[in-house]
Structure 1
Amino acid sequence: MHTAHAHIHDVDVAIAGAGPVGLFLACELRLAGCSVIVLEREPDPHSPLKDLPLGLRGLTVPSLESLERRGLLDPLKAHVAEYTSPHTPHWMQATPRRPGGHFAGIPFFHDRIDPTAWPYRLPPLPDTFAADMASIEAIFARRSGALGVVLHRGCGVEGLESFDDGVVVRTRGESFRTRWLVGCDGARSAVRKAAGIAFTGTEPEFTGYSARVTLADAESLKPGRHYTVTGVYTYAAPGTIAMVDFDGGAAHRTGPLTREHIESVLRRIARTDVSVATLHVATTWTDRAFQASRYRQGRVLLAGDAAHIHSPLGGQGLNLGLGDAMNLGWKLAATLKGNAPSDLLDSYEHERQPVAARVLDASRAQVTLMRPDAGSRALGAILHDLMETHDGATYFAERVWGVGLRYDLGDEHPLVGCSAPPIEARDGTRLDALLRLGGGLLLDFDRRTTRRDLAQGWCDRVTYVACDAEQRWGLSAMLVRPDGIVAWARDDDADEGLEFALRRWFGNPGHAA
């Protein structure tokens, strides 16, 4: 390869975007020994939009499991406890029952959820955790730096040239030659556009506003979520406001947000002459729901908002992106090392694209429920009644929490394709801790010699663990991918399918595929 630029740097993987998805993916790749650079357009990572309350993000069960399996969850919780004030999401405030989440603002509650719906999980019920974006990025940046990731700020992607064996990435003043490029650079991804990957979906119905304000007459605005004839607004005292104005997205990114504009929209939607004394920070968003037609073009890959965007309703965007990074990291690393099956990288798109499509449809459904018309209010009332049933609350908990995630891996065993259950050996060793190094695991509860001998062929990629556990759900053995997904499981002492699964996910034994 060649380029006219004078400064060229060689690297295994270049990642565009130093948000949580790009940084988490960088950590995954470095864990596997790949050389990684992250190219970030913004020179300064700090933004008031990342702080509480506007920066609050709920982490779903798959995200929490991924962070725990990489030793990041406890540091994140400690950072949140030390550097931020406790913050309760508006839909949980002043509620006598314990909410489990919401769908279009309609809450479901823990006392209606049936935990037997997820037989491979131990009590207590799976739940979510909320953290601000500033804390999430700080923890990921700290870990990526410790692992040796090189971060270039003020260095956005300006263009690229693709070759059979890599990509030359052009930035302002420098070029980087990389074997693979991953676009984690957001909804307006320069990488996606330069790679010529189509981005299609549904256009917005509304402009959403999130703002932190000081009200001159706060008593005139009732806390909580309110549907009106012109839109929806949510007010959390003393000054956090979210609004949805069904204007077709006309006011999104049309210019600076002024105090007068926020006050005008609030008065129109809230139907009251409330006054905004001071506008501290505000941003707009829409319900535009688009998805990339493919997640890979040659040696260019997409993850996070570069691959899919939707409204922030339900807080699924960050979680989708973290799931992309966890799924892609080990597959791309194995491909770089030369010991991956030929189609391993293709499974990234095969597994993650349907997950995003389902979330986009859930986002569209929530928009339908929020429209300012009688039909949507009637539909919302019916949904509220359904959420008060055990089946209804359990269904929405499964969707919102992500606890029902299962990839179709072509195996009928109910665990295959799901996140591994929380196995703990009798000596106290936990499965999550065994996944810290980012390799695969073969857990053998029956300690069969044939399984041990078979695993020796993949000992550089799979750790064989002979152990017993207090709770093992009747399993005799389980093969777990580096991302914590069960690739093979048996309820009896047979080894049928194990070698096939090892080859399918970890390549040929003892040498490159």
Structure 2
Amino acid sequence: MEDIIIIIIGAGPVGLLLACELSLTGARPVVLDRRPQPGDTPKANGLGGQIIDVLDHRGLLERLSAGSPFFGVPPGFPFGSVPLRFAGVDGIPLRMLMIQQPRLERLLGERAAELGVRIRWGHEVTSLAQDAESVTVQGEGFALRGRYAVGCDGGSSRVRELAGIGFPGTTDDEQVWLGHFTTGTETGVFDHPRVAGLGPGWNRTPAGRVLVTSLQPGVHIVGVREVRGDAAGRVTIADFQAAVRRVLGDDLPLGEPIWLSRTRSQARVAERYRSGRVFLAGDAAHLFPAGGSALNVGLVDAVNLGWKLSATLAGDGPEGLLDTYEAERRPAAERALMQTRAQAALERLPQEEGDALRSLLTEVFAYEEPVRHMAALLHGSDLPYGSGGHSLIGRLVPDLRVVTEDGERRVAELMHRGRPVLLDLVGTASLDQELGGRVEVVRARCADAPAEAILIRPDGVVAWAGSGGDGLAAAAEQWFGRGSVGAVR
């Protein structure tokens, strides 16, 4: 039996980012993955929303965005089959980064290696047991015991099953075929006369729906939705072409396949995110019926859980800190489930009813305020963690430009170490020497300071903001434990 501090099951993006978060504070997790090596399947094609800001807080955004076909505020976003247009609208928080999952995993894996994370490929967990002090996972040829374990092993999570956590929800009756293809040219399938008549997004036909789009030159994506058969087994190019023919009524010049899949969308949230010393994150905890949310929500799960586990392992976390993980992240998942269900419903409505609703929403989304609201919903910033006092509390700290003794810096740069920060913007709030180094005090000036001082959690969420230090000690004790703060003067 090998003793490990913390065991992460699943070396996808969520598991890798969680491992990085833990390692920042000195914890040394071990990551297990049943695959023999990193995958090359582009299950996701980009990131968007709050996770962009969170990655910036860790200094990872520059690394991930280098060479990306697109990074920034998009001109619009397809909410189901209804276009949201952001061009010319101020205050849009939603930024998007185009990056395919294999590249994302490779870059996060490189960062994990820099931090000393150990990844063990070909380790499939087949049993799990826990007691009051530890959790033990076993598989063929290995047995590990840790203080905690986190299942980041996807929608069919074995960890979730072994921990006895239910996964209620629904499975779509439509089968979804999705393929990435290359033709060696920058146009390829879009020159085909049948494609020329297809609009952006999913196009309805009498037999289902079809999608043709592209995210990079020379590579196009084709999707097919139909009510048919079981979504299981290996997909061949002949299977895929037959699905296109059934739904479109004609062949498409698909080209050489890069990746083919066949799935059914699911809408689920785990009954609970924790069972004793076992936690769930990412797709193991939630599945959404429309794209563009799962990976973003899952990666924020990892950052939220990471600092709380680190503090608990170090003996610094207050009682009940780990319970706040589900209290904060479950409502975020339910919010994402709501809006992705709405997107899916817009696609599935019968033709006449769907056209009427889409026309009405298109009129509503022509106004700036509804567009800002929808952008905040997609970004994930419309639902803060709790409430009370200052409007910043419970939200990601704004990326202010501040002037410190080291010169001008962005607030995001102050968060790279993954530690709590007290940002003193007027020089009137300070903490005494009883901090013990747990909270980093940064004294700075800011021309448009939203508060005199801001207490920021390691995940970038504002724990307290205000003036004169009123309530600061209580907030610091709530999140960082008794004795973390001395007198406020």
Letter of the aligned partner of 2:108 in structure 1?
A: F
CA offsets, 1:185-214, max 9 Å, x none? Answer: 001111110000111112213211211346
Q: 1:14 aligns with which of 1, 7, 27?
A: 7
- Say if 1:509 and 1:331 are closer, same or farther in 2 by CA, change over 3 A: same
Task: Please name the residue that 1:251 is paired with.
Answer: 230
Task: Please name the residue that 1:154 is paired with.
Answer: 122
Task: Please name the residue that 2:35 is paired with.
Answer: 42
1:33 lines up with 2:26 in the alignment: yes
CA offsets, 1:157-209, max 9 Å, x none? Answer: 11111111011110210100101000000011111100001111122132112
Distance in 2 of aligned mates of 1:496 and 1:335: 27
Name the SS for the 1:293 alignment partner. Answer: coil
Name the SS for the 1:14 alignment partner. Answer: strand
Q: 2:340 aligns with which of 363, 366, 369?
A: 363
Q: Are 1:258 and 1:279, in contact at CA under 8 Å, matched by a contact in 2?
A: no
- Asked which structure has the greater RCO (Cα within 8 Å, sep 6+), the reply is 1
Distance in 1 of aligned mates of 2:444 and 2:121: 46
Matches within 5 A, 1:320-335: 320-335=297-312
CA offsets, 1:220-261, max 9 Å, x none? Answer: 22353322233221113666344342427x4312x2212332
Distance in 2 of aligned mates of 1:318 and 1:346: 22
Q: 2:50 aligns with which of 62, 73, 76?
A: 62
Report deviation, 1:470: 2.3
Q: 1:482 aligns with which of 458, 464, 472?
A: 458
Letter of the aligned partner of 1:320 in structure 2?
A: V
Report deviation, 1:283: 0.7
- Say if 1:280 and 1:468 are closer, same or farther in 2 by CA, change over 3 A: closer
Task: Please name the residue that 1:463 is paired with.
Answer: 440
Distance in 2 of aligned mates of 1:240 and 1:88: 19
Q: Are 2:208 and 2:227, in contact at CA under 8 Å, matched by a contact in 1?
A: no
Task: Please name the residue that 2:89 is paired with.
Answer: 113
Distance in 2 of aligned mates of 1:453 and 1:398: 34
Name the SS for the 1:452 alignment partner. Answer: coil
Name the SS for the 1:437 alignment partner. Answer: coil
Name the SS for the 2:83 alignment partner. Answer: strand
Name the SS for the 1:320 alignment partner. Answer: helix
Task: Please name the residue that 1:228 is paired with.
Answer: 205
Report deviation, 1:405: 4.3
Letter of the aligned partner of 1:285 in structure 2?
A: T
Distance in 2 of aligned mates of 1:212 and 1:360: 26
Matches within 5 A, 1:42-191: 42-47=35-40, 49-50=41-42, 55-57=44-46, 59-78=47-66, 80-81=67-68, 86=69, 99-111=75-87, 113-115=89-91, 126-191=94-159
Distance in 1 of aligned mates of 2:263 and 2:371: 28
Task: Please name the residue that 2:480 is paired with.
Answer: 506
Unaligned runs of 5+ in 1: 1-7, 93-97, 119-124
Q: Are 2:152 and 2:282, in contact at CA under 8 Å, matched by a contact in 1?
A: yes
Distance in 2 of aligned mates of 1:179 and 1:457: 29
Report deviation, 1:110: 1.9
Task: Please name the residue that 1:299 is paired with.
Answer: 277
- Say if 1:30 and 1:365 are closer, same or farther in 2 by CA, change over 3 A: same
Name the SS for the 2:180 alignment partner. Answer: strand
Letter of the aligned partner of 2:281 in structure 1?
A: A
Distance in 2 of aligned mates of 1:398 and 1:308: 20
Matches within 5 A, 1:320-399: 320-371=297-348, 373=350, 374-399=352-377
Sequence identity (%)? 34
Name the SS for the 1:342 alignment partner. Answer: coil
CA offsets, 1:306-327, max 9 Å, x none? Answer: 101123x341111011110110
Task: Please name the residue that 1:443 is paired with.
Answer: 423
Q: 1:290 aligns with which of 268, 273, 276?
A: 268
Report deviation, 1:288: 0.9
Report deviation, 1:497: 1.0
Distance in 1 of aligned mates of 2:101 and 2:219: 19
- Say if 1:88 and 1:63 are closer, same or farther in 2 by CA, change over 3 A: closer
CA offsets, 1:348-375, max 9 Å, x none? Answer: 0000001001111212111111115121
- Say if 1:269 and 1:389 are closer, same or farther in 2 by CA, change over 3 A: farther
Letter of the aligned partner of 1:69 in structure 2?
A: H
Distance in 2 of aligned mates of 1:331 and 1:129: 27
Q: Are 1:99 and 1:107, in contact at CA under 8 Å, matched by a contact in 2?
A: no
Letter of the aligned partner of 2:478 in structure 1?
A: R
Letter of the aligned partner of 1:257 in structure 2?
A: V
Q: Are 2:293 and 2:336, in contact at CA under 8 Å, matched by a contact in 1?
A: yes
CA offsets, 1:84-135, max 9 Å, x none? Answer: xx3799xx9xxxxx622121132211235342xx8xxxxxx55222111122
Q: Are 1:12 and 1:179, in contact at CA under 8 Å, matched by a contact in 2?
A: yes
Q: Are 2:211 and 2:224, in contact at CA under 8 Å, matched by a contact in 1?
A: no
TM-score, with structure 1 as normaliser? 0.86
Distance in 2 of aligned mates of 1:75 and 1:240: 25
Q: 1:431 aligns with which of 399, 404, 411?
A: 411
TM-score, with structure 2 as normaliser? 0.90
CA offsets, 1:371-408, max 9 Å, x none? Answer: 15121222122122222111222122112233434111
Distance in 2 of aligned mates of 1:127 and 1:353: 23
Letter of the aligned partner of 1:509 in structure 2?
A: G
Distance in 2 of aligned mates of 1:229 and 1:323: 40
- Say if 1:180 and 1:382 are closer, same or farther in 2 by CA, change over 3 A: same
Q: Are 1:287 and 1:367, in contact at CA under 8 Å, matched by a contact in 2?
A: no
Q: Are 1:288 and 1:310, in contact at CA under 8 Å, matched by a contact in 2?
A: yes
Report deviation, 1:274: 4.2
- Number of equivalenced pairs: 469
Name the SS for the 1:425 alignment partner. Answer: strand
- Say if 1:392 and 1:510 are closer, same or farther in 2 by CA, change over 3 A: closer
- Say if 1:505 and 1:194 are closer, same or farther in 2 by CA, change over 3 A: same
